[in-house]
Amino acid sequence: MKMFDVYSIHDISIVTGSGSWVYDAKGDKYLDMYGGHAVISIGHGQRDYVEAVAGQLSRLGFYSNSVVIKQQAELAEALGRVSGLTSEDGEWQLFLCNSGAEANENALKLASFHTGRRKVISVGGAFHGRTSLAVAATDNPAIVAPINETGNVIFTPFNDIAALERAFAAAASEGGAAAVIVEAIQGVAGIMVEEVEFLRAVRRLCDEHGAVYIADEIQCGCGRTGRYFATDWADVQADIYTMAKGIGNGFPMGALAIAPHIKPRKGMLGTTFGGNQLACVAATAVAQVIERDSLMQNAADVGEYLMSELRKIHGIKDVRGRGLMIGCELNPDYESVATKLLFGQRVFVGTASGGRVIRLLPALNVTRDEADVALAAIRKVLTPAC
């Protein structure tokens, strides 16, 4: 058997990691400014995390959701604290699954159960994952299979409040919108920051129309922007937050934080692996380390420093983002900057828009010195040889 060939792969095999550094099979060292695609939140090989997962594995690897899993309650408590999710109407609820797409799939389904409606409003440029509902709400026809086309999703342009109002009106004529799903900062689209006014309009219109506000925080959440949820910058609360990537620091996990007014019913949602003991201890360690080590503050500080220095670099047309979710749009002669950074400077970065945007998504405890290493490498690659 061989692998189904779906990825563009760099010919590098990463075998170990420590903090923001990873090492290949030859022992060569790379600075990870990509965080393994926004997944590594507290650093590679973080000690408390490794001890928690290894300790749990040595006691019990898995037992099903048919018994009390105390690690779930511990995670709910740690996530509630670090995210600051509180409400006068009761307690927020946590549902655990295994990936980002699965989190969005469950959120959309839950919104439909809750409202009895089927229409969903999504934003141009959105990426919500590759399962049926998630991919239907994703603005990329190339990854939507015929079987995923339901006709239930209305796309509205990025940051356009008038168009959002029209989308609600269009949904109203067909039974009403069950949900709006929105990334406060779009990652795959090239680090596109929704204006706070747009997110406030989402909140207002969801309230007016009885729709569920789903904040997809899979890439922009988990403290990456300097606040736990990127939506927090708009000072609004969503009804459902979907999480994945950073919450497990590499342990596969997805989660939904669900507002108290959305009521559960037995069997409404379910999963075999979601909320397993190993994932829960991993995510609890992540939440505790973020809080204990003030990593959101570090993300804000180092992110601000990086952005201000990146803005001075010739060859970068636009720098956007918040905290450690940074996009650099390159001038038209941008060709293969990410590849040059990787093979010439040994710095991992992400890309978007076919390489026109480089994405910096490092661990939240990346240091200012490490940021300087990345900046020097970017300057070197972008400075034309004299």
Ligand X SMILES: Cc1ncc(COP(=O)(O)O)c(C=O)c1O
Where do contacts with ligand X occur on this chain (CB under 6 A)?
99-101, 104, 127-129, 183, 187-188, 216, 218-219, 244
Nearer to ligand X, 119 or 128 (CB): 128
Comparing CB distances to ligand X, the nearer of 76 and 107 is 107
- Please say which residue, 126 or 211, places its beta carbon nearer to ligand X: 126
Q: How is residue 229 written in tokens?
A: 């949820």
In angstroms, the first-to-last Cα distance of the chain is 50
Asked if residues 171 and 161 have their Cβ atoms less than 8 Å apart, the reply is: no
Q: How far is the CB of 171 from ligand X (least distance, A)?
A: 22
Please report how close the Cβ of residue 100 comes to ligand X at its closest, in angstroms: 2
Report helix, strand or coil for 94. Answer: strand
Element (H, E) at 339: helix 337-345
Quick one: 100 or 250, whose CB is closer to ligand X?
100
Nearer to ligand X by C-beta: 32 or 370? 32
What tokens were used for 315? Answer: 């060859």
CA distance 184 to 21: 28
**Distance between CA atoms of residues 33 and 256, nearest Å:** 27
The burial class, CB within 10 Å (0-12 / 13-18 / 19+), for 148 is middle
Q: What gap in Å lies between CA 186 and CA 160, rounded to an integer?
A: 15
Between residues 358 and 381, which has the closer beta carbon with respect to ligand X? 358
**Residues 6+ away with beta carbon under 8 Å from 270:** 65
Which of 185, 337 has the CB closer to ligand X?
185
- The two tokens of residue 281 are 């201890």
Least distance from ligand X to the Cβ atom of residue 332, Å: 26
Give me the half-sphere count of Cα atoms (radius 13 Å) on the Cβ side of residue 75: 29
Residue 127 beta carbon to ligand X: minimum distance, rounded to whole angstroms:
5
Query: Do residues 182 and 215 make contact, with C-beta atoms less than 8 angstroms apart?
Result: yes
CB of 186 to ligand X, least distance (A): 7
What is the smallest separation between the CB atom of 185 and ligand X, expressed in angstroms? 9
Q: How far is the CB of 152 from ligand X (least distance, A)?
A: 18
For ligand X, the nearest residue by Cβ is 100
